[in-house]
A and B are shown apart, each in its own frame.
Chain A
Amino acid sequence: MSRDENRSISAALAAATFTLLGSAVPVPVDAQEESAWEFNTSLLYYGEGDDRVKDYSVSAIARRMFVDDRYLTLGLTVDGLTGATPSGAIRQDVPQTFTRPSGNGAYTIPAGELPLDDTFKDTRAAFTAGWQQPVGETSLINVGVSASREYDYTHLGVNAKVARDFNRRNTTLSAGIAFSMDSLDPVGGSPTPLTPMLDVGDTSNRRGDEDKDVLDVVVGITQVVSRNLVVQANYSYSNSDGYLTDPYKVLSLVDGTTGDTLPRTLTPGVEGPSHQYLFESRPDDRTKHSVYGQAKYYMNGRVLDVSYRYMSDDWEIDSHTIDLRYRVPFGAERYLEPHVRFYTQTEAEFYMLSIPDSEPLPGFASNDYRLGDFDAITLGVKYGWKTRNDNEMSLRVEGYRQTGSVPGNQIIGNQATRDNYPDLDAIIVQFGYRF
């Protein structure tokens, strides 16, 4: 048949069908083969105030579907970190000089300022791969690996999870396990815990690299309670074993009465710390237990998502997290989702502001503010919309405020006049594109 004859068949068929069916104008067909791949990408900016840490990250997750509901998921995230973070030393009314962690130089902090260590500009790449497939009619298994690398840290991990549905798929029980082996090769070598920070070039108290293993186990249950409500609860256990100390953090050695950091005698012609600082030390074991509950409630197109987590570990840190999200759709194409999160934790047993020279050295000590007693609140909103191709884009802006305090019995003498816990403000902006 000639091209003209061919084209007229389509039109002739349409006309004949219209006559046969006698219906109103048909809706034009819209059909395409489904792409086997789904992508979820995002750009994220995290920035702390006061010249502290800034993180830029790009991430992409690709998921491919195979026959019979099997999925391969591949993920890649690249992070760039800049900025400075509290070193653990406390403020003084005089300038303080510190040796850089690498041992190759020194830096000075002006009087009255919080000592921040800015030597950890770093780029990290993290990779994950996972496989999911159904087993029988009601079960699902997931297995995966993860790996990440930055200049001083390597992580390798494996994970697996099984889930089984009951009660006509209204109940799901799941159990998962993850094991990771991490190794740390600190710049300059890992310092012997609770030994002094030494002069530039002096590496006599440095050891080699360190490692740690982490085991995580989770068991959970998800239950459909009604047409509008799904709840979930789980218990997790985590055990870290190995080198858990931060090799770059120190504590100030202070006078037992005045609370001022003890000065150090400098050798002429040699750069080194102006005062006495000791490298921190944490136990080589940490066990955490946590319980988590979540409810998602659907009301007329809006979804309220509430969750609570309680965590307790053998470092005596207890924490509570409450998280609320409320998604409000606008039409079929857009939504707004405000978010609020409250977090509170108690300090670790060995958390201390400084080490007084009037007492014997403690077994473990750290002034890492992340192990302290603090509250945090996050407030944010996420806006999502569909593109012309029916893909999803989103923009999330959140503010984070962390305020903490040092237990009264740890504050010695003149320390009471200073601001001891480094409060933190941060902003998070994330753009996401799913296609």
Chain B
Amino acid sequence: MGSPCELVCEAPRRADALELTTLVAAEAWRIEDKLSRYLDGNIVSRVNSAAGRPIDVDEETADLLEFAVSLYEFSGHRFDITSGVLRRVWRFDGSDQVPSRQSVADILSLVGWHRVEWCRPVLRMPHGMEIDLGGIGKEYAVDRCVNLLREQGGSPCIVNFGGDLAATGPATRRRRWRVAIEGEADAPDRIIELKQGALSTSGDAQRFLSKDGVRYSHILDPTTGWPVPDAPGSVTVAADTCVQAGMMSTLAMLEGARAENFLRAQDVVFWCRR
């Protein structure tokens, strides 16, 4: 998942806490093993190395793809799981190595869900295109783990995978979980009292490029291949599930300067930092 994953729970005994942690860790690793684009042999790598051939995907992957399609449609094509290849020309390391217009235009020919043939359960992409479920995977894993924990009943827990988190229920002390959203540099942490639900934060932190006085955040618009201008420094959204919170915060970042207006119009609980 590329980030520290933790389970915080109020369990009566150490043995109970260990049992719940083992359950969550197993599910997290299962999803990571399945969806990571860094592992050979899993469904994602088979799809990405298919070189134009059709691939049969399993039920869970099919569900995730259908979800991605819905998001692609109602985000006006701004959310696109085929946009991962843009990282071949964009490296956000704080330097001034901004790619040329031509190289971006070239890579853009390999981006776009409209180029993909998807008829459940068969997926076929043109050679050179890739899918990247990193934008959904972590939040999905959090919600899956929360559901598993809820089935176990009992102890209130928070599943926190690198800042994408959700509570299985209210904490017993003061009935609120306290979550700190890190402030950058001199800005103090923001403390959120979470009684129940999920939080997800999208932000640019150290991932940006800076050239000629222009700051390029790492939020790339798949329709143009270029960073979304004036994206907020960070957006935190609270929603019923981590998937909803994560997608909302991502969609907000893609709105750039209009992020706050977008979130307000959605009637969503959010905190923005510019």
Contacts and interface: CB of A to CB of B under 8 A. Distances in A.
Q: Do A and B interact?
A: yes
A334 B66 CA distance: 48
A278 B189 CA distance: 65
A1 B76 contact: yes
A28 B238 CA distance: 10
Contacts of B190: 33
A32 B265 CA distance: 18
Nearest to A20: B67
Contact of A23 (B147, B188, B189, B199): B147
Interface in B147-196: 147, 169, 174-176, 178, 188-196
Given A16-B70, A27-B240, A6 B189 contact: no
B240 A26 contact: yes
Contact of A19 (B63, B178, B197): B63
Nearest to B262: A6
A10 interface: yes
Contacts, number: 104
A23 B196 CA distance: 16
Give the interface size class of chain A: 20 to 34
Nearest to B172: A332
B74 to A, nearest CB: 4
A7 interface: yes
Contacts of A388: none
What bracket does the count of chain B residues touching chain A fall in?
Answer: 35 or more
A361 interface: no
Given A10-B267, A21-B241, A332 B175 contact: yes
A3 B199 contact: no
A67 to B, nearest CB: 4
Contacts of B76: 1
A28 B197 contact: yes
B193 A20 contact: no
29 contacts: A1-B76, A6-B265, A7-B266, A7-B267, A9-B74, A10-B266, A13-B247, A15-B70, A16-B67, A19-B66, A19-B67, A20-B63, A20-B64, A20-B243, A21-B140, A21-B144, A23-B147, A26-B240, A28-B240, A29-B238, A29-B239, A29-B269, A31-B238, A32-B193, A33-B190, A33-B192, A34-B192, A34-B193, A390-B176
Given A6-B266, A26-B240, A29-B198, 5 more contacts: A10-B267, A19-B66, A21-B144, A27-B197, A390-B175
Interface of B: 63-64, 66-67, 70-71, 74-76, 140, 143-144, 147, 169, 174-176, 178, 188-199, 238-241, 243-244, 247-248, 251, 262, 265-269, 271
